[in-house]
Structure 1
């Protein structure tokens, strides 16, 4: 059955005539869904009967469908008194058919399908969605390099080409998706998970049972959709499942990763969005829950989504060159060095886009290979590519295949808005590339600037910072040294978004070519901060309160030692400090609520840092207290 289904309508087949013919021949595709991506990365999902679409295909492609601004995250743009948002189809990317394998269409005995059509969200004549922003960034890359090749035709001599030979410049990208999978309602002890992780008992081991079946079906479906999966495997997190009497596995708790090939940047982001849905639905059919949270379990490995990017030059004779790859004997080309420098120099205003949630920052802690330092690694020599996993932005090189040269940003997580993250990366890349081109910098000169020491003057990079390290940035530097050399990582969402106000010159780089407008950045920031405040007050505080109430006295007075009593007194004092108000004092929870009500967000941020520290202290104390007890009431 799988081989008979229509999975993709390629971008070459989006004319009204082609669509009518294709969809008439596939009556099992019963619905259409226009997919717009708001500034939080949420995708719209609706079911429009196919008959309505077939009666007015042209109208649909030009914007016959509208949505209410309250249904998407566009604060400050789509307001209650001006909420109409038009949805216009993007015909320049592939369209996927999403199948409901639990509902069969009787006439064909095939599952009912929904044609998902990516679209732009238009408000008052302006595109305001994440897909448009990424598309604008890729246009900036192309237009900027075309202008450079006109102005400096000697740049093309390395590729034995002239300006007339150039066909296209393409921004390309790929992502790696990590996620946790488990049987519903089953829980594993954090200590058990941590021990298994530390011993690397699960990493790349054999998958079994329903997990294996779900993973393999996912990879087969990805092949059917033309997504070219490269690998699916276990990641470092997880514990061994239990075998029931019937031979089924229960108490599943595993971390997996799926990788697939690169594409042009907008298509790559669309592919990732669809794969997330494909993974979730496929594993659910096998009775397994999937979570894409960055840090679903405190103290255990989080899930990343390493994001890869590069820029390709296409000539009219069919030849393709990776612009990041050196044509000499250097680590990178001038485009590669410039791009790397542009991202690193401006990362303070990229970071709020990459790490926009409480969950994302819980994963980004020093150690655990968490990329919190704004630094790169090239390798100790050109002949030996680097694989330093402690840095933020890695350079991936294959000496036998220059086309594979790319950068790997290690900070994103599965809920990072990939459209906006890639847009920010390519826009800041072009700032560095333009610096390299306009100042006629050589590869050696750029390598020297990128490798400079903190305190050394540079024409583009900041004087007081270092940007390259071949060392383990967690083991070989103290906290103070890391902060001085590579900058201090934000501890809260609000600290992160505050960079938009703190670094206006770097925000100006994001606004180049109107990729990110002032209105878009303001709307994004409002949405992020609203979600931050809501989550703290409505979810985090509530979850912590339930956890605190679960920390109960376990010893009996007649059997307890002085140490047990002292431990419990410390625990109870912390419980009261966090949760309990009195006539004369307010608990930490209440102070957070008061600061939120007063719109004192600096105070909320500081109190959140204190809250997380106190909760860690409380958990550690309770573990020590419990371990010391023989008899528990």
Structure 2
């Protein structure tokens, strides 16, 4: 391992340095240009290193070509205009991905592939997720400097004399990766998992066996890639593994989290790609399956991926200033820019959410009772002097009284399948809108705190009158569902509910379009891709899986030992089975109605019927569990 090259930093991307380094590492046999399409998929090909080095200047400038069928760019890279170029990004770190199942005979080292983050270019325009975030970062930096010059009153709140003292605006981000691991072919016992979760038997407990080994190996491997791993621990989900007769562990089913150090926004998203590969490969090498699904097991905790977002100013004297933190941490929660940023994110969240929650799986996670946010509301703490953490809100303010530079926002809604590039890009656009409103109205911190804390029905210069935006209470325990909807708005329940917000809130969509960070073509392409994924999965995966469940729920009781409760419960179950799946000459089942609505592209109806199907399936599962529980023999 000491002889392997894992990281090629941005400072070493000249043709001469790249050539020298690759010749010193003959175990690196391939180069792969990594573009990230609008679906969040990263490309991977194997270009022989010698071919890359023979014309390195051309590769670094012109990249390679592919076609639209290789990437998700619907309505952009069409069948009759499919040429897409992958152009290397020399501003970020490049990583070497090793195949530890394939060793080079000459060096006796694993074969490596140099993965080069790249942009996707179509008709001379960047159309990929990475470029959208790249543009968002540039636009945010430029606008912040412009605002500071136009509204110098805020410089005092930052402790800066003049904008001439500023060298650079620095956008930082970090993600927390949660995932489930299990031994292959093991099936979940929902009741055991749910009981363990309620009792918190696994949360932060000591890892053992192959899980511990894989966790430690993953943390060390992340350091090789320069990610500076900070923590790995058990999450709330899971059950205890079983020790077999030969001393090995079996029936492993645990939820874990791994965190690494924050960095600049684009590098953060790139780091996440290599981190997933490292985690998955390492746990697989230890005989464990990994899933990053948002809700791999119904009825127990899903996998979140909280996004931490911060902004700082690098001064010409070398000092750093947090753009959100106040001068007096005990007096104010934030300065005006910080308050404006969180208000912008909350007000415009309807057009941020489609990038955060874009799949059926993601919506399965966002339910009360599993520490996943369902309300567009924030928490900034019970008092400025004593920071607190409210785990029930969408956005939380993170503060460290001894370290103002740690002041940041935690967006709790993303999951590991969220496209971090698009999430961060839309978050920056939304925050910038709120910052502009706060500064243009010359608002001080105390005025903005009052605005953020307003009650539903109170008018505001920026936030919507009928909504409340701050709660320091447990929004699940201290409010009924009806009260939550009245105060914080009705949350979307399906992919369609989210996508339709682009049309429902045109003024908020315009926030995304500012600075040409997003454009109509990109948003329409994203909508088409997401819509296709939603309906295809529903039609060809979810409904067939539900059909198999319905078929598997058979009558189990016999005339001996049967009670009236067994008979009545089975009748309820059978009625639901027929309603969900069985067609007749004059009546169609719910599954058929959904398929027909998809065929007609009646997505509003599909959305409503999907929610009905989910409710019916939950009821069916609960009834069958109760039914089996009352039988002597199965």
TM-score of the alignment, normalized to the shorter chain, above 0.5: yes
Deviations 1:502-547 (A, max 9, x none): 0000000111111110110111011101100000010000110111
- 2:107 aligned residue: 108
Distance 1:105 1:447, change over 3 A: same
Q: Give the stretch that moved more between structures: 153-162 or 127-136.
A: 153-162
Aligned twin of 1:377: 379
Alignment of 1:375-454 (within 5 A): 375-454=377-456
Matches within 5 A, 1:146-157: 146-157=145-156
Q: How do residues 133-172 of structure 1 correspond to structure 2 at under 5 angstroms?
A: 133-157=132-156, 158-172=158-172
Contact 2:188 2:297 (8 Å CA) reproduced = no
Matched with 1:505 is 507
Superposition deviation, residue 154 in structure 1: 4.7
Residues 30-53 of structure 1, C-alpha deviations (whole Å, 9 max, x = no match): 100100000010000111100111
Structure 1 position 441, deviation (Å): 1.1
1:578 CA drift (Å): 0.7
Q: Which residue of 2 aligns with 1:229?
A: 229
Structure 2 counterpart of 1:482, from 472, 481, 484: 484
Measured in 1, the distance between the counterparts of 2:321 and 2:108 equals: 46
Aligned-pair distance for 1:380? 1.4
Distance 1:150 1:563 in 2: 75
Are 1:49 and 2:51 counterparts?
no
Partners of 2:303 and 2:366 lie apart in 1 by: 10
Partner of 1:276: 276
Q: What are the equivalent positions in structure 2 for 1:94-105 lying under 5 Å apart?
A: 94-105=93-104
Whether 1:205 and 2:211 are equivalent positions in the alignment is no
SS at match of 1:475: coil
Contact 2:302 2:370 survives alignment (8 Å): no
**Which residue of structure 1 lines up, in the alignment, with residue 5 of structure 2?**
6
Q: Deviations over 1:77-129 (max 9, x none)?
A: 01111111011110000001111112112222221110000000000011000
**Aligned partner of residue 4 in structure 1, secondary structure:** coil
- Does the Cα contact within 8 Å between 2:154 and 2:336 map onto a contact in 1? no
Query: How much has 1:366 moved relative to structure 2?
Result: 1.8
Structure 1 stretches of 5 or more lacking a match? Answer: none
Give CA deviations for 1:138-167 in whole Å, capped at 9, x if unaligned: 011110012123333454343334222211
- Partner of 1:129 in structure 2? 128
One of 343, 346, 361 as aligned partner of 2:345: 343
Q: Which residue of 2 is the match for residue 218 of structure 1? A: 218
Residues 34, 118 of structure 1: 8 Å contact kept: yes
| Structure 2 contact 63–88 (Cα < 8 Å) conserved | no
Q: CA deviation at 1:4?
A: 2.1
Which residue of 1 is the match for residue 312 of structure 2?
Answer: 312
Residues 188 and 251 of structure 1 are in contact (CA less than 8 Å); yes or no, is this contact kept in structure 2?
Answer: no
| Deviation string, structure 1 residues 275-320 (Cα, Å, up to 9, x no partner) | 0111001111111100000000000110000000011100111111
- Per-residue displacement from partner, 1:59-81 (whole Å, max 9, x unpaired)? 11112301111111111101111
Which residue in the other structure is 2:17 paired with?
Answer: 18
Q: Is the 8 A contact 1:335 1:433 kept in 2?
A: yes
The DSSP-based 3-state class of the residue aligned with 2:120 is strand
Q: Is the 8 A contact 1:31 1:50 kept in 2?
A: yes
Aligned mates of 1:631, 1:213 — CA distance in 2: 41
The separation in 2 between residues aligned to 1:160 and 1:146, in whole angstroms, is 13
Question: Residues of 1 paired with 2:285 and 2:370: CA distance?
Answer: 33
Q: State the partner residue of 2:607.
A: 605
Tell me if structure 1 keeps the 8 A contact 2:457–2:467: yes
Partners of 2:555 and 2:479 lie apart in 1 by: 41
Q: Secondary structure at the match of 1:175?
A: strand
SS, match of residue 101 in structure 2:
strand
Deviations 1:217-265 (CA, angstroms, capped at 9, x unpaired): 0000111111011100000101111111111101110000001111010
Over residues 464-489 of structure 1, what are the superposed CA-to-partner deviations in whole Å (9 max), with x where a residue is unaligned? 10000111111111111100110111
Give the secondary structure class of the aligned counterpart of 2:510. helix
- Which moves more between the two structures, 16-25 or 623-632? 623-632
Larger displacement relative to structure 2 (2-11 or 389-398): 2-11
Within 2, Cα distance between the matches of 1:210 and 1:605?
A: 42
Residue from 570, 578, 581 that aligns with 2:580 = 578
The TM-score, its normalising length taken from structure 1, stands at 0.98
Distance across 2 between alignment mates of 1:319 and 1:117? 32
Whole-angstrom CA distance in 1 between matches of 2:440 and 2:55: 50
Contact 1:343–1:429, Cα closer than 8 Å, also in 2: yes
Task: Tell me what 1:464 maps to.
Answer: 466
- 1 CA distance for matches of 2:42 and 2:161? 42
Segments of 4+ moved more than 6 angstroms: none
Contact 2:347 2:464 in 1 (8 A): yes
Instruction: State the alpha-carbon separation in 1 of the partners of residues 633 and 307 from structure 2.
Output: 51
SS in 2 for 1:511: helix
Question: Equivalent residue of 1:85, what SS?
Answer: strand
In 2, the alpha carbon distance for the partners of 1:153 and 1:92 equals: 32
Alignment partner of 2:626 out of 613, 616, 624:
624
The SS at the match of 2:2 is helix
TM-score normalised by length of structure 2 = 0.98
Cα deviation, residue 565, structure 1: 1.1
Q: Secondary structure at the match of 1:100?
A: strand
